[in-house]
Amino acid sequence: MKKEEKKENKKREQNQISSKKWNEWLAGLIDGAGKFTLSKSGYANLDILLELRDEKCHIELKQRFGGEIKRKETTLIRYRVHRLYGIRQLIACVNGHIRHPLRKIEFKEICMHYNVEYKEPETLTFANGWLSGYFDAVGLIEFSTEQDQLYLAFRHKKNTMLNELEIQKCLGVNLTCEQNGCSCESVTLYKINKKTVLSLYKYFKKYRLRSSIKTTQILLIPQFYEIQNETKEINDMQVKQKLWKQFFKKWYVDEMVKYESVKLANYYKSKTSPEKRVKKLIKLKFHRNERIRKRAERLELQKEKEKKA
């Protein structure tokens, strides 16, 4: 009996930890891409606007809180929850985790409306899943083959937002904005050193991202540094370019195929359910991966022929 009790206690602890991580991730996602509103008739709403390729995030939210998913533009989808049961559940999940100054004002108003005590968030650290949700919403990792440099990018209207949200303090570094064309369409690039990148890599392995392309890029970070070290010893520019080109295809594979905005947009016009659209998305990804695999096989055959010659 004691063994069974211990197992049950362990399961409960694991469930509590995983639910806490998920709540922190959700708060980060809302801070980056969400908005709380209170209508004149006294109904609370939460809207979260993401790119079409991140529809799986919305489906996960719909399964937990109800609500609806609608296409906003060609490449954007909106999740909305407004029913009382879903809103109350959501308040319980994110209370004590909301950090964005505007979201805090909106969320306080919602809490007051439903007579819920508002909780202030704790200091942001690497032992918190908030950053993964915020990164899913507005974060990017870019790289420059010319400088062999990785950049952290955020879609911010204000360059001071990293300080306001304590992200710099959490990372333990002072991020400096790139001067030459650093802001383009409200995307700001920040130079990051290898130590910070690898600590982010470890963090995102513990607090996983839900965005497919960002997850792919995070997993490719060690390979980036492998190629960086390899190209230092190579003098032939053509060989260097070839290595970076192959890596570039892996890094931006979803962008190059462009199945998200074009093919999935057509499915939104029909009355198919979100679950069916995700199945179609998986099929499209499978065909994409097959093309990549066949391309890799052709490259290997070419290399073998070159060696024999």
Give tens-digit pLDDT for 156-215.
776 667 777 778 778 776 676 664 444 444 667 777 888 888 889 999 999 989 888 888
Range 143-157 average pLDDT: 75
One domain, residues 170 and 265:
no
- The mean predicted confidence, pLDDT, of the chain is 77
CATH number at residue 146: 3.10.28.10
Quick one: 94 and 157 in the same domain? no
pLDDT, one tens digit per residue, over 34-67 is 999 998 888 899 999 988 888 888 888 999 999 9
Among 193, 189, 57, 206, residue whose Cα is nearest residue 125: 206
- Same domain as 108, residue 86: yes
Question: Which has the minimum average pLDDT: 2-6, 29-33, 134-138, 190-194?
Answer: 2-6
The pLDDT of residue 103 is above 90: yes
Show the tokens assigned to 125: 């650290």
Contacts of 265 (CB under 8 A, 6+ apart): 52, 71, 74, 75
Full domain range(s) for residue 134: 125-204
Helix, coil or strand: residue 203: helix
Q: Of 59, 79, 75, 67, give the one whose Cα is nearest residue 268.
A: 75
Tell whether 32 and 109 lie within a shared domain. Answer: yes
Are 99 and 130 contacting, i.e. CB atoms less than 8 angstroms apart?
yes
102 and 134 inside one domain: no
Q: Of 49, 78, 113, which one is at a domain's C-terminal end?
A: 113
Task: Assess if residue 214 is contained within a domain.
Answer: no
Q: What is the pLDDT of residue 4?
A: 55
Tell whether 90 and 16 lie within a shared domain.
yes
Q: Answer yes or no: do 8 and 94 share one domain.
A: yes
Q: What is the pLDDT of residue 254?
A: 55
91 in any annotated domain: yes
Is residue 255 a part of any domain in this protein? Answer: yes
In total, how many domains does the chain have? 3
Pick the last residue of a domain from 204, 233, 252.
204
Residues 172 and 103 placed together within one structural domain of the fold:
no
Instruction: Tell me, yes or no, whether 291 and 227 share the same domain.
Output: yes
- C-beta neighbour count of 121 within 10 angstroms: 19
Q: Is residue 142 part of a domain?
A: yes
Q: How many other CB atoms sit within 10 Å of the CB of residue 292?
A: 14
pLDDT above 50 (res 134): yes
The predicted model scores a pTM of 0.75
